[in-house]
Chains A and B, each alone.
Chain A
Amino acid sequence: MEQANPLRPDGESKGGVLAHLERLETQVSRSRKQSEELQSVQAQEGALGTKIHKLRHLRDELRAAVRHRRGSVKARIANVEPNRTVEVNEQEALEEKLENVKAVLQAYHFTGLSGKLTSRGVCVCINTAFEGNLLASYFVDLVIQKPFRIHHHSVPVFIPLEEIAAKYLQTNIQHFLFSLCEYLNAYSGRKYQADRLQSDFAALLTGPLQRNPLCNLLSFTYKLDPGGQSFPFCARLLYKDLTATLPTDVTVTCQGEEALSTSWEEQRASHETLFCTKPLHQVFASFARREKLDGSGLLIDCFHCTGNTSEK
């Protein structure tokens, strides 16, 4: 029943009057603050308003300048080629140029070594190939800042990238890239040969192909006549030169008593030569062809076999 009525005249409780005074005080300070805020807001508004005017003016000036430029360019073109369709032709010509450039950049992949500038240096792409087959691509992102360093890369872990970088990166970047290209292309080539042997000539292998990550040590047993009675050959190919796709050391051995016969010895020696001089899958391709031509697959003349492979 006792409601806070600020208009009650009698001071039944001093609290009532004092409270009323307090309320009036806060009202006054509030309205003072509001008017202060209003003033500052108005000042800000004024400042922003002038800023807007200035910016609008600047915008109009720039628009006029652009229009003027466009007009003069058009006039110049119109003077040279009085042709209404000249603008459309320009655009077409530019698009054609763009397509050409894109195609050239893509074609760079076929050179084996291409790159793209990055914010900190260059990202080099090495596309490996062997015998005209495009194989895997590897990237090296280089930071062009003294000292040069490799930011990140996709080169396989068993390629001695750190060694090559230690030798050449600081002194001769070209040499570094070409050396790396050599290693990667050779690795891709060796891997290609081993993969082809496993996939295409599994019938001639009598056991699994033993290989290591770099594909620089291959060990396998094979027979010239898969179903026949002859004894298998054991071959061990070492690629001590990591920049080469042909082995440096080849050992072919023949198990069984017939190892002593001269015909087997001749065959064995000829196989060794073949593995040293021809890519692995090509040697096996010649074996497979020989098997087709010569049903027995036993006695084969040394000169005959080299004659066969040189046909390819």
Chain B
Amino acid sequence: MDETVAEFIKRTILKIPMNELTTILKAWDFLSENQLQTVNFRQRKESVVQHLIRLCEEKRASLNDAALLDIVYTQFHQHQKVWDVFQMSKGPGEDVDLFDMKQFKNAFKKILQRALKNVTVSFRETEENAIWIRIAWGTQYTKPNQYKPTYVVYYSQTPYAFKSSSTLRRNTPLLGQALTIASKHHQIVKMDLRSRYLDSLKAIVFKQYNQTFETHNSTTPLQERSLGLDINMDSRIIHENKVEKERVQRITQETFGDYSQPQLEFAQYKLETKFKSDLNGSILAEREEPLRCLIKFSSPHLLEALKSLAPAGIADAPLSPLLTCIPNKRKNYFKIRDK
């Protein structure tokens, strides 16, 4: 086993928290059951790691095996990366997409290897028809840097792919080209959507965040559903402005629905608008140039926070459509200009 490969595997295993180690090793499926059973996972981490490296040497782990372990680790720790969303499009009158996994993998690898001699490309398929691609970048003269890879998650037979944002931005056009050509599309465009939560991005992009549907079998009539206010709590408590509270609840429910919101960390609005004021003769109103400013809303769970604004009394209901359109428009970066 190459020294660099051994070092790479060692550093990857060291990143894994002890309580996840057996799960990740099993998912990696490189070391056999028997081999794993010989390891005492109760020792200090360094000893466990050394034992595992010895086992990998016995089995002659290759660079590809090490890359697969890196993919598995990243799949378990998706939130450590920030993900961008790309949308591809076909030309008009294109043939039906007959996606062939082997063809795709070969074409993708070939395009990258032709452009940059040194590049490591690895693939791992998951059950939800998603292909995880890991690319370690090198140049014509330098070996690939295994410690700064880019990940792409491509859902075959859809136009969408998710890419981990990395600092090596110069390779993004090449990556886009490889993905587009290998998947038989024409164009690729970056969407204004970004988050750490890959599942939420997937739910927004594929419009799968609301999976409740009205059927004739559903037995909860609308009136019975609690409005979250529990008005009948205690007869000694009188709710003033009950009508207003109910109105706010109703509007919130219509806008945000009953389902759990997809998780985003921020929404960013770039404004380039002229100042609008009721007072005539204000200095700002006379400006010809539009004002430029950037407004950023941040939260551990932005959409749930927005949902709770009106019921908490902090904002009026209905909220501005600029805030409520985020999952519908599949954007959390907005540029607002005067019409």
Contacts and interface: CB of A to CB of B under 8 A. Distances in A.
Interface of A: 102, 105-106, 108, 114, 116, 118, 123, 125, 139, 141, 150, 152-154, 157-158, 210, 212-214, 216-217, 219, 238-242
Contact of B100 (A141, A153, A212): A212
A239 B97 CA distance: 10
Quick one: which of A105, A214, A240 has the most chain B CB within 10 A? A214
B99 interface: yes
B157 A214 contact: yes
Contacts of B215: 116, 123, 125, 139
B213 A157 contact: no
Contact of B96 (A114, A123, A157, A242): A242
Given A153-B207, A158-B156, A158-B158, A118 B99 contact: no
B210 interface: yes
A217 B104 CA distance: 13
Nearest to B214: A123
Contact of B97 (A105, A108, A214, A219): A214
A222 B211 CA distance: 40
B224 to A, nearest CB: 16
A213 B213 contact: no
Nearest to A158: B157
B99 A214 contact: yes
Contacts of A141: 213-214
A182 B217 CA distance: 25
Given A116-B214, A123-B214, A125-B215, 13 more contacts: A106-B217, A118-B214, A123-B215, A125-B213, A152-B210, A152-B211, A154-B208, A157-B206, A158-B157, A212-B101, A214-B157, A216-B98, A219-B100
A102 B217 CA distance: 9
6 contacts: A158-B157, A158-B158, A213-B155, A213-B156, A217-B99, A238-B98
B129 interface: yes
A148 to B, nearest CB: 15
A219 B208 CA distance: 30
Contacts of A116: 214-216
B214 to A, nearest CB: 5
Interface residues of B, number: 25
A154 B214 CA distance: 12
Contacts of A214: 97, 99, 157
Interface string B87-118: 00000000111111110000000000000000
A216 B155 contact: no
A216 B210 CA distance: 28
B101 A210 contact: yes
Contacts of A219: 100
Contacts of B160: 157
B95 A154 contact: no
Nearest to A154: B211
Q: Which 8 A-B pairs have the closest CB atoms?
A: A158-B157, A139-B213, A213-B129, A105-B216, A152-B210, A212-B99, A157-B206, A123-B214
A177 B129 CA distance: 26
A242 B96 CA distance: 8
Contacts of A240: 95-96, 98
Interface string B250-283: 0000000000000000000000000000000000
Contacts of B156: 158, 212-213
Contacts of B217: 106
A238 B97 CA distance: 10
A213 B155 CA distance: 9
A183 B96 CA distance: 13
Interface in B151-186: 155-158, 160
Quick one: which of A105, A125, A213, A240 has the most chain B CB within 10 A? A213
A242 B214 CA distance: 28
A108 to B, nearest CB: 8
Interface string B209-227: 1110111110000000000
Nearest to B98: A217
A125 B214 CA distance: 9
A152 B206 CA distance: 10
A43 to B, nearest CB: 21
A214 B211 CA distance: 21
Nearest to A236: B100
Nearest to A162: B159
Contacts of A242: 96
B51 to A, nearest CB: 33
A214 B209 CA distance: 22
Nearest to A138: B213
Nearest to B206: A157
B169 to A, nearest CB: 28
Contacts of B99: 212-214, 217
Contacts of A217: 98-100
Nearest to B159: A162
Quick one: which of B96, B102, B208, B209 has the most chain A CB within 10 A? B96
